[in-house]
Amino acid sequence: MNRILIDTDPGVDDALALLLALKSPELHIEAITTVSGNVHVDQATQNLLRILALLDLSEYPIVAKGKSKPLVKPLVKAEHVHGNDGLGNISELRNPDGSPRYPLANCDISTISGVDLIIEMVRRFPDELVIVALGPLTNISVAIQKDPECMRRINSVIMMGGVFSDYGNVTTTAEFNVYVDPHAAHEVFNSGVPIHIVPLDVTHQVILTGERLIAETKAFNDKMSKFLIESTQACMEFYRENVGFYGFHVHDALPIGILTHPHLFENVTAHVQVETEGNLTSGMTVADLRGDRVNTNPNANVYINVDSDKFLDSFFQRILS
Ligand code: RIB
Ligand code: CA
């Protein structure tokens, strides 16, 4: 069983990842921390409570709010992709009696910060805790700066972010999570902590189309299937207008899939660096992934392939179970 902490900026694809993780018996989610990224951390924390309310959980993971802005760069968000509230504007939906269609879970937010909760969880589960990073790496880099001794006991960080042989999704060269906080990514990549990177090169291989989502959910009429349909529409509309198909990439669900179905994925070791200052290349992740190169001083595992069909099959089997 994997003990994990999820650091997240929900975010439509973050929501799918969180639901998949919460419905995966192989994973024990000890804690969830939020960070500014797709939306401000205050909104991200509200969104997390909305997501947790979708499941009848007997107990909630510990939840704590993290950093509201990147280490150095001004915060760049992605409401244009994920909707004004970051969850496809479902927070505006009401039942006939006027009550919220998607209320918040009755789950306390910890009085300690997200950064301190990360440190506390590593201290509680040394060498065991896996940190799954689904947003900018701000919280994790500040935790490493604050208590490097303790943070050396992280089992590993598995992060969605970066891009190598594909195009970026914010600029031509940069993926959103690393673009938002390149200084945090630089800190984490050079910290000595075992890093597993899940870049756009692999997440772009997995497309959830509107057609597939309808086909998978039409036999259901429950809270979960309605949430999957209603929370993803804004994102799919953005893709239709800007990417050319009605659907979207389920980026953040893939790190969860690597933990539950590792045989569906392929990775290589590499030495990864981050550009933090370039005018055209800020947030660019740089590595030589050509398998025949002898990797001097590798600092990361980089995922390069996934069996997309089998991953999506396993995703729907779990999330609609
Ligand atoms: O580039 C995709 C990543 O940026 C995903 O984590 C998405 O949620 C956004 O945070
Ligand atoms: Ca995210």
Phi/psi at 102 (5° precision): -125, 85
Spacing, Cα 97 to ligand 2 middle (Å)? 33
Q: Which residues of 220-254 are buried (b: 16+ CB within 10 A; e: fewer)?
A: eeeebbbbbbbbbbbbbbbbeeeeeeebbbbbbbb
Per-residue pLDDT of the chain (321 residues; tens, 9 = 90+): 799 999 999 999 999 999 999 999 999 999 999 999 999 999 999 999 999 999 989 999 999 999 999 999 999 999 999 999 999 999 999 999 999 999 999 999 999 999 999 999 999 999 999 999 999 999 999 999 999 999 999 999 999 999 999 999 999 999 999 999 999 999 999 999 999 999 999 999 999 999 999 999 999 989 999 999 999 999 999 999 999 999 999 999 999 999 999 999 999 999 999 999 999 999 999 998 886 666 678 899 999 999 999 999 999 999 998
Pocket of ligand 1 (CB under 6 A): 9, 11, 13-14, 37-38, 134-135, 160, 169, 175-177, 251-252
Number of separate domains in the chain: 1
Phi/psi at 228 (5° precision): -60, -40
The CATH number of the domain holding residue 136 is: 3.90.245.10
Spacing, Cα 3 to ligand 1 middle (Å)? 23
The parent domain of residue 183 ranges over 2-319
**Nearest-ligand number for the alpha carbon of 169:** 1
Number of Cα atoms under 13 Å in the Cβ half of residue 70: 26
Q: Give the global pTM.
A: 0.97
Distance in Å from the first CA to the final CA of the chain: 20
**List 251, 261, 263, 271, catalytic entry:** 251
Which parts of the chain fold into alpha helices (H)?
Answer: 12-22, 41-52, 79-82, 114-124, 138-146, 148-151, 176-180, 182-189, 200-203, 210-217, 223-242, 253-260, 308-319
Active site residue 271: no
58/55 Cα distance (integer angstroms): 9
